[in-house]
Amino acid sequence: MEQKELPLVSVIIPTLNAQGILEGCLKSLAEQTYHGIEIIGIDANSTDNTGDLIKQYGRLIQFELKDSMAWGTPYQQNLGAAEAKGKYLYFVDADMVIPADAIESYVKQMEDENADSMIIPEISFGDGFWARCKILERSAYLLGDRYIEAPRFHKKAVWDKIGGLDPKMGGEYDQDIHMRLRKAGYTVTRSSKPIYHNEGKLTIHKLIKKKFTYGKSVKYFLKRHGSDPGLYVNQFNILRPVYFRNWRELIKDPIHTIGFLIMKTVEAIAMFAGFVRSNPLKLSSPRTV
């Protein structure tokens, strides 16, 4: 298929003071072999040069992040999707680096399979001991696990029908839309072309804070999806089955495997603490599809 025949892809990047990591992401998008791309940065009023960077590569939309928003990203992504002109939506984080031929391969697979959404695996990189532990954890997900991975690449028409993200899901917003897509009968495929996720200088404090916030939305998530038994075996399990399938990589690196197990235990405690501290929310019905 010739390049001129391929549809427009709207790449949506939510940002907040991301100057230190964003340029690598934007440069990787500028170097794509696929040229039918529009870049939309949804910036939450950064105080650094994030907005100026976005304007060098694409369109900047300012977003007001309010204190009542426990998790701003889904609001930003919904706004970006509403502004997008592409047939496809591709949600990218500021700390991601996209291989040059990635978007071309994603569009081809989506078109060939007539898929509605696509999971894109991630390979982590970063500095320090805990980043190395996170890299080891993510290596297991390359084997595939639908309770962990969530689609990032969607047909815009399907996204609009499903109603986009539910921001009340907090840190579970991406898994929520994944499950809604499957329950509604949409086709979710999986690419073999990974992207690279910059973990930076990861610390236990950062992980605890993140997982505590995730935990505060678990009650809401379970109200909608708690009837799925796979959640308890996979998503809410420290020792997920996918880790055991990755045992060869784990035994190659015993030091970081021990750190990985400590990390997962700490994350689970933080998430449970957030769960205990949260208040049950009234569940709103997702949009009819």
- Rounded CA separation 96/51 (Å): 17
- Rounded CA separation 100/252 (Å): 30
Average pLDDT over residues 232-248: 62
How many C-beta atoms surround the C-beta of residue 120 within 10 A? 23
**What pLDDT, on the 0 to 100 scale, is given for residue 277?**
80
Cβ-based neighbours of 257, under 8 Å, separated by 6 or more = 136, 250, 251
Q: What's the pLDDT tens digit per position in 105-130?
A: 999 999 999 999 999 999 888 889 99
Average pLDDT over residues 24-35: 96
Tell me the β-bridge partners of 5: none
State yes or no: pLDDT of 215 exceeds 60.
Answer: yes
**What pLDDT, on the 0 to 100 scale, is given for residue 187?**
97
Average pLDDT over residues 264-277: 88
- Rounded CA separation 226/229 (Å): 7
Q: Domains in the chain, start-ordered, CATH in brackets? A: 8-277 (3.90.550.10)
Q: Are 212 and 273 in contact (CB under 8 A)?
A: yes
State yes or no: pLDDT of 69 exceeds 70.
Answer: no
Average pLDDT over residues 63-77: 81
Q: How confident is the model at residue 157 (pLDDT cuts 50, 70, 90)?
A: very high
Q: Are 259 and 233 in contact (CB under 8 A)?
A: no
Average pLDDT over residues 137-162: 82
CA nearest to 81, candidates 161, 18, 148: 161
Average pLDDT over residues 250-277: 88
pTM over 0.75: yes
Across the chain, mean pLDDT equals 86
Length of the chain: 289
**What pLDDT, on the 0 to 100 scale, is given for residue 7?**
96
Q: Which residue has the higher pLDDT, 12 or 45?
A: 12
Q: Which residue has the higher pLDDT, 3 or 151?
A: 151
Q: Are 186 and 116 in contact (CB under 8 A)?
A: yes
- Rounded CA separation 71/20 (Å): 21
**247 burial via Cβ count (<10 Å: 0-12, 13-18, 19+):** exposed
